[in-house]
Amino acid sequence: MISTYFYFFADPDFLELLQFWEASRAGRALPDWSGDVGVVPRNLLANLIITDRRGPEPVYQYVGAECVRRWGSDPTGKRIYSDVLTGAHGRYIRSLGEESVARRAPIFSTAVYQPDATSVIMTGRLYAPFSYRGSPDPGAMMTLQLFRGSDTELRQIGIKGIVHEIRRDMITNVGELCARLETARRDFQISRHTRQRSLAQDVDLIAQELTGGALVPLPCLEDPDLACA
């Protein structure tokens, strides 16, 4: 299961969202978002979800095409918990969003979904909080979501599925982590034909070295339907 964590952690789209988050800060504690989806790197949009966090309950403001396909319908404009997510799935997503808002920092998590006895979906998601149009508070959340495994619609997880969170990390020094991941990726491109190294191994080492610094492990969600591996 740990290899699943590093598979997602090493994905270039996660690095690009972190770089976008860091570049948008411009010296502030949080980057500010104007509400214009056009400023987001285009290759992130298919797997990106943006939620409005200013009201009593988060609302889906933008949902990328791949996320819509995975869900089975477009939840844009709906409340996350009252209208869309239920059960273990809802509890898992709520805990990640609330923790990222409270800590005002990006949080990365991996989990395994079991929609039924024969299906498994592996997920990686990066939560990146933004202030909204000059407000000092986290008013928007950009979440990049990637999946492997079964193509079962995600809505089935809230109805009868099980969620197992594998690992959760807060990223406290985004600039340092981005630089280290860039180096690991360049090294991997050079050495991949030797069959002696893998990007997952490089990222594993980086995660170990940065634990307690740029990468801070957080407890997985404690829930009857969720168990850390």
In the chain, the amino acid numbered 156 is Q
How far CA 2 is from CA of 6, 68, 143, 199, in Å, comes to: 7, 27, 21, 14
* Mean pLDDT calculated for residue range 153-171: 81
35: left (phi over 0), alpha (psi -120 to 50) or beta: left
pLDDT level of residue 228 (50, 70, 90 thresholds): very low
126: left (phi over 0), alpha (psi -120 to 50) or beta: beta
* CATH 3.30.450.20 matches 2-173+214-218: yes
Q: Which helix (H) or strand (E) holds 103?
A: helix 87-103
pLDDT level of residue 54 (50, 70, 90 thresholds): very high
Higher pLDDT, 198 or 183: 183
Burial class (CB in 10 A: 0-12, 13-18, 19+), 146: middle
Say if CB 60 and CB 49 are below 8 A apart. yes
Say if CB 191 and CB 210 are below 8 A apart. no
Q: Which helix (H) or strand (E) holds 51?
A: strand 48-52
Residue 117 has pLDDT above 60, yes or no: yes
